[in-house]
Structure 1
Amino acid sequence: MLLLLMVSLDLGIDERSQFPAFWLREVWHLIHFQCALAMMVLGESASETRAAQTRRKHLLTSIHNIPHMSISISRITVGNNPMDLEFSTIFDTGTSFTYLADPAYTYISQSFHAQVQVNRHVPDSRIPFEYCYDISSSEARILTPDISLRTVSGSLFPVVDAGQVISIQEHEYVYCLAIFKSMKLNIIGPGTSSSGFLVEDVLYLSTEEAHPQILKAPIMLGCGETQTGSFLDAAAPNGLFGLGIDEISVPSILAQRGMASNSFSMCFGHDGIGRISFGDQGSSDQEETPLDINPQHPTYVISISRITVGNNPMDLEFSTIFDTGTSFTYLADPAYTYISQSNSHVTVACPPFLSFHAQVQVNRHVPDSRIPFEYCYDISSSEARILTPDISLRTVSGSLFPVVDAGQVISIQEHEYVYCLAIFKSMKLNIIGRKFQSSFSAQPY
C-alpha cells in the first residue's frame, strides 16, 4: 500500500554540509516535535518572523537567489586569548556543525588544543574531526576553553558548546572540537540537540488510489523539553519529521504496523511544498543500489565507482551520504577536482579527462568573495542558461545516477548574473544534496 503525506518544508539555505550524519546524535532520525501538533509544517511563518528579527539585530548580507544570513565577524576569542580577524560567515540553522576556512580555523583549533590538558586522540579515519581527545565515557567532559565571536557591530556571540562526544567503538569515546576545515566558505552551525519525553499521536495518511482512503497511523513522537543550538531560535519551530533508518523513524514505524512497506520517496517543489510517499516501491525500470549501512550509525550511504562528465568517464570509488536536508552537494578530492577543475589541473591516464569547466564554452566569472561556489560563468539574465556537460555517477552495483541539474543561477547585483556549478569542496565528507536528487526513493532495508 502506498501512503501519501503532504508536507511544507523549511528548505533554508541548508548546506548541511556537510556533514557527518552518521556521527550525529540521531536528531534527524528521531520523530521530534516540540509539543506541536501542527506536525506537517516544518518552518515557514515562524521561521520567517525570527529571521526578520535577526536581520534587525545584526548587519546581515545575502546573495540573491541563494537565501542565507551572513554576518561579519571582527574578533575571535579562545579562552582568554582574543584575535582580531575579519571574515564573513553564514549562520545556517540547517547545519549541525561549523565550517571555517583559514585563518579562522587554524587559529581556533590550535588555540583550543593548546589549552586542553588531556591526551589528544591519535589520527583516526573513523572520526571526521581533526582535534579529538580521549574520554572515559559518553557522559564524561573535559575542561575546555570558551570560544566566542564578536561581530563588526560589536555584538558578542558566545559558543555554548563547541564539542561533540563520539563513540568510536564499544566503551571507547572521544570528545572533539566540532569544527570542520573549509576551503572557502564559513558556516556557523548550531550544534543542535533535544531531549524530552515520548508521547503517542496519530498521523492521518491518504492512500494513492483511484478512490483514496484516509488511514490513521498511531506513532510515537518525541516532545522536546531541553533544546540546544538552532532549536532555541529559528530552526524547525514546529519540529522535525524523522525519516532515518532507525526503528524509531516514521517509515520504520509504519512498516512495523503493517501499513506500508519500509520505503519512501520524496518530491520537492520549487515553492517549498513537498510530498512524501510511504511504501513507494518505485517503477520496474528504476535502477537500484544497496545502502552501505553501519549498524552503529545507520544512515543513507551509497558507494560510487565511476564519475562521468559529458562523454568522459573516470573510474573512482568513494562513499557518499544521501541527504535530503542538504541543499547542495559536497565532494572531497579527488572527486571534486575530477568533476570541476580545468583539464590542465587534472592528472589522469590517457585519454585526458575533460572536467565540467573544460567543457563550458563561456567566460568564467572572476573570483568573487560574494559567491560561495568556485566555478561560475557570466550569463545575461536570470533566465539564461549555458550549454554544460551532463554529470552522472555510477554506483558499485552498476546503477546510473544522473544529475538532472548541477547548476545554480545567482544574482550578484542588479542585472548581473552568474551560473555556478553548485558543488562545494569538502575536506573529507561526500554528501549528495537535495539539488542533485531527482526521482529517487529510499528503502532502508
Structure 2
Amino acid sequence: MWGRQMFHFLLHWMLGAICFGFLVTAFSVLLSQLVITVVWCSLVIGASIMQDRDLSEYSPTGSSTSKHLSCSHALCEESPNCASPKQPCPYTANYYSENTTSTGFLIEDILHLASSSDRGSKRLVQAPIIIGCGRKQSGGYLNGIAPDGLMGLGLGDISVPSFLAKSGLTRDSFSMCFNEDDSGRIFFGDQGVGTQNSTPFLPLEGKYTTYVVGVEGFCIGESCVDRVSLQALVDSGSSFTFLPDNVYEKVSKEFDSKVNATRTNFEGSPWEYCYKASSQQLLGIPSVTLLFSVNSSFVVDKPICLVYGTQGDNHCISCCFFEV
C-alpha cells in the first residue's frame, strides 16, 4: 500500500538461486552494489507484456506520501551528475544480463506492512523506504521478466531490509517461502529456527556488498568429489549454477555416473548433460549437496531442469561451466 492506494505487485525477488565461481559477478544479474527497489511507473510496460492482468502500476502522483529524493540526499549516488542539489535524484541500473538496464528517479514513500507476534497478535507497520521509479527499461524487462518491478533485498544501504532495520522495525534479516505455483511470502526480520544450518557471508573485494558465501565441496548422492574452495554468489538473477571448468568436470561426471537414463543433447544448448528419462528413472536422480564451512551443508533434491525440445521433453543437470 502506498499512501492511500493499494497496489498488487508481481515482483521479481533479487535473491534466490546460487551462482558459483571465483568472484563470478559476471553471472550475477541483479545483486550488485546498487540495490534498489524498482517499480515501473509507466502503463505502457504492463499493457504490452501482461494484457490479462491489471498491474496497477505505482504512480508517485497517486500516493499522498511520495516525494522525490533530492540530489543532495546522502543515498543519491548520481549526485555528481545533477545540475542542482534540489533536482530529483536519477538512477541508472546496468544489470549483467545482456543489454538489460533500468533508468528513472528515486522516490521516498511509505510501505505498509502487517506485523505479527508469537502470541498471534497483528499490527500494521508504516515503513519509510526508497524506491526507483523506472521510466525507461531495456533488455529482459521488455519481455516480461519482472512485470511489476524489482524488490531490492541486498546488503546496500538503500535496500528494503536495510531501511527496515535502520528504522528499528525489524532485525536485519529476512526469509522467503515459495509454493509450487511460484507464489510466496517474504518475512522481514525472521531469523529462522535455532536448529537450522548457517554459513557466514564473505566480503567481495573487501566489502560486504552482496551475498557471497564460501563453498568447500560437493557431494553427489553419497559420493563426494575432491575438496574445492569456491566463492558462491546467491542470486535470483542466475537461473542455473555456473562452475569453474575443473570443478564442473568433476561434479558433472560424478553426477552422470549415477544417472540410469539415456544421454541426449540439444544443438546450441549450454547444457552438456541431458537425459531422456521416464518418471520412474527420475526417482533415481541423485541429490547434490553443497558443503560449507563449520560443517554446514545445503541439499539440492532436484538438481535438474526440464527442457522442452522438438523430440520430446528432456532433463538436464542445472549447471554450466565457464572459463576462469
Task: Give TM-score scaled by structure 1 length.
Answer: 0.52
The match for 2:321 among 419, 425, 433 is 425
Query: Unpaired segments of 5 or more residues in structure 1?
Result: 1-5, 51-137, 140-163, 166-177, 180-187, 342-354, 429-445
Report which stretch shifted further, 401-410 or 243-252. 401-410
Shift of 1:375: 0.8
- Residue 360 (1) aligns with residue 259 (2): yes
Shift of 1:249: 0.6
- Residue 377 (1) aligns with residue 286 (2): no
Q: Provide the C-alpha distance between the structure 2 equivalents of 1:208 and 1:311, rounded to a whole number of angstroms.
A: 41
Report which stretch shifted further, 389-398 or 258-267. 389-398
Compared CA separation, residues 417 and 236, structure 1 to 2 (3 A): closer
Shift of 1:390: 2.2
Q: Is the 8 A contact 1:203 1:219 kept in 2?
A: no
- Residue 200 (1) aligns with residue 109 (2): yes
Compared CA separation, residues 396 and 409, structure 1 to 2 (3 A): same
Q: What is the identity percentage for the equivalent residue pairs of Structure 1 and Structure 2?
A: 29
Q: Is the 8 A contact 2:38 2:151 kept in 1?
A: yes
Q: Which amino acid aligns with 2:174?
A: F
Residue in 1 aligned with 2:4? Answer: none
The count of residues paired between Structure 1 and Structure 2 equals 268
Partner SS for 1:223? strand
Q: Is the 8 A contact 1:392 1:402 kept in 2?
A: yes
Q: Provide the C-alpha distance between the structure 1 equivalents of 2:263 and 2:235, rounded to a whole number of angstroms.
A: 30
Residue in 1 aligned with 2:58? Answer: none
Shift of 1:9: 4.4
Residue in 1 aligned with 2:181? Answer: 271
Q: Is the 8 A contact 2:307 2:316 kept in 1?
A: yes
Residue in 2 aligned with 1:300? Answer: 211
Q: Provide the C-alpha distance between the structure 1 equivalents of 2:47 and 2:18, rounded to a whole number of angstroms.
A: 22
Q: Is the 8 A contact 1:7 1:274 kept in 2?
A: no
Q: Provide the C-alpha distance between the structure 2 equivalents of 1:371 and 1:208, rounded to a whole number of angstroms.
A: 49
Q: CA deviation digits over 1:29-49, x for unaligned, max 9?
A: 11222337x9xxxx9875345
Residue in 2 aligned with 1:331? Answer: 243
Q: Is the 8 A contact 2:260 2:281 kept in 1?
A: no
Q: Provide the C-alpha distance between the structure 2 equivalents of 1:26 and 1:194, rounded to a whole number of angstroms.
A: 16
Shift of 1:25: 5.8
The match for 1:395 among 292, 296, 309 is 292
Q: CA deviation digits over 1:280-312, x for unaligned, max 9?
A: 111111011110123557111111112111222
Residue in 2 aligned with 1:284? Answer: 194
Q: Is the 8 A contact 1:46 1:237 kept in 2?
A: no
Q: Is the 8 A contact 2:100 2:137 kept in 1?
A: no
Shift of 1:226: 5.0
Compared CA separation, residues 47 and 271, structure 1 to 2 (3 A): farther
Shift of 1:319: 0.6
Q: Provide the C-alpha distance between the structure 1 equivalents of 2:48 and 2:281, rounded to a whole number of angstroms.
A: 34
Shift of 1:191: 3.4
Task: Give TM-score scaled by structure 2 length.
Answer: 0.70
Q: Which amino acid aligns with 1:333?
A: D
Partner SS for 1:303? strand
Q: Which amino acid aligns with 1:405?
A: K
Q: C-alpha root-mean-square deviation of aligned residues, in Å?
A: 3.7
Compared CA separation, residues 329 and 208, structure 1 to 2 (3 A): farther
Q: Provide the C-alpha distance between the structure 1 equivalents of 2:50 and 2:178, rounded to a whole number of angstroms.
A: 20
Partner SS for 1:315? coil
Compared CA separation, residues 388 and 396, structure 1 to 2 (3 A): same
Q: Provide the C-alpha distance between the structure 1 equivalents of 2:266 and 2:215, rounded to a whole number of angstroms.
A: 32
Residue in 2 aligned with 1:32? Answer: 38
Residue in 1 aligned with 2:98? Answer: 189
Q: Provide the C-alpha distance between the structure 1 equivalents of 2:36 and 2:207, rounded to a whole number of angstroms.
A: 15
Partner SS for 1:334? helix
Residue in 2 aligned with 1:441? Answer: none
